[in-house]
Homo-oligomer: A and B are copies of this chain.
Amino acid sequence: MAPNNHQSLIGRGPSLADVLTQKLSDEIASGQFKPGEKLPTEQQIAETYGVSRPIVREAIGRLKHDGVVVSRQGAGAFVAESGSPAVFRLQVSDFTDRDEIRGIVELLMAVESSATELAALRRTDEDLASLQGQLDAMQAAIDRGEPGVDEDVSFHRAIVEATKNPFFRDLSDFLDRRVRTFIRTARSNTARGQAGLTALVQNEHQAIFEAIRAGDAGRARSAAEEHLRNAADRLALYLRP
């Protein structure tokens, strides 16, 4: 039997599919089922864990979604050849966890610094035009007295796009989004950001752009690092208890 005991605290507890997914995932990760090996049938798994077949199907469906197993109709479900998942799970337990956001920011700094360096080496004329366009848009936002958050995002996107590496683009995009949503939720509880701050950001962006245009990888990395360090300092205001 598998009584779900740890549920009465709050409304939502882990569903049976959640639990089963975790168990199967662990068993695969621990090498209990080896890559290429056939999993038990859904019926057997259902009996083993005392759940119904739809639950098993859902759990296996998630594992397929993660690239850990592949299944062939009529044949069975098999552990993926690589054995390791195709997705990187960023476990965000809580939006207000300070250590967590610190860790993400640190990783973001690493990724975006390298991305900026690569951008300086590979940017095309189109990339430069795109970057220039975002700078102009940001300046226009400043002139209108707006914070220009969207323009800021677009500028960073244009940089990672110039790396010509979709993994850099996607990961940077992903991390950036998480940090910004944290800021957004955190800011709603505190005072608004200063108005003149955007101009500082614009200056840092300008420096990054110049380095990228010059094709100076080292300077591009330095400029990006400084920008990100400043951004992290500004963020630190929201991380104070």
Residues of A at the B interface (CB closer than 8 Å) are: 7-12, 15, 17-18, 21, 54, 57-58, 61-62, 64-67, 70-73, 80-92, 95, 103-104, 106-107, 109-111, 113-115, 118, 165-168, 170-171, 174, 177-178, 181, 185
Chain B residues, Cβ within 8 Å of A86? 9, 89-92
Cα separation A21 to B84 with both chains bound (whole Å): 22
Contact between A166 and B103, CB atoms less than 8 A apart: yes
* Chain B residues within an 8 Å CB radius of A73: 11-12
With the chains together, A113 CA to B178 CA distance in Å?
A: 23
A84, B165: Cβ atoms closer than 8 Å: no
Q: Are A177 and B65 in contact (CB under 8 A)?
A: no
In the complex, are the beta carbons of B12 and A174 less than 8 A apart? no
Other-chain residue from B10, B65, B81, B113 in contact with A21 (beta carbon distance below 8 A): B65
**How many angstroms from the CA of A18 to the CA of B174 in the assembled complex?**
22
With A62-B62, A104-B167 as given contacts, are A90 and B89 in contact (CB-CB < 8 Å)? no
Residue among A10, A81, A95 with max Cβ neighbours from chain B (10 Å):
A10
Find chain B residues with CB under 8 A from A166 CB.
103
A88 x B165 contact (CB < 8 A): no
Question: Looking across the interface, which residue of chain B has its beta carbon closest to that of A177?
Answer: B84
Indicate if the CB atoms of A88 and B11 lie closer than 8 Å: no
Docked-complex contact B88 and A171, CB < 8 angstroms: yes
Within the complex, what minimum Cβ distance (angstroms) separates A50 from chain B?
19
Chain B residues with Cβ below 8 Å from A113 are 110, 114
Nearest chain B residue, comparing its CB with the CB of A110: B114
Q: A61-B58, A61-B61, A90-B86 are in contact. Are A171 and B107 (CB under 8 A)?
A: yes
Name A90's contact: one of B54, B64, B88 (CB within 8 Å).
Answer: B88
* Minimum Cβ distance to chain B for residue A38 (Å): 15
Q: Which of chain B's residues have a CB closer than 8 A to the CB of A71?
A: 11-12
Q: 22 A-B pairs, CB-CB below 8 angstroms?
A: A10-B70, A10-B80, A11-B64, A12-B70, A12-B71, A12-B72, A54-B54, A62-B65, A81-B95, A83-B181, A84-B178, A86-B91, A88-B89, A88-B174, A89-B170, A103-B167, A103-B168, A106-B165, A106-B168, A110-B113, A110-B168, A113-B114
Given contacts A65-B21, A72-B11, A82-B178, A90 and B87 within 8 Å (CB-CB): yes
Known: A67-B10, A84-B178. A107 touches B17 (CB 8 A): no
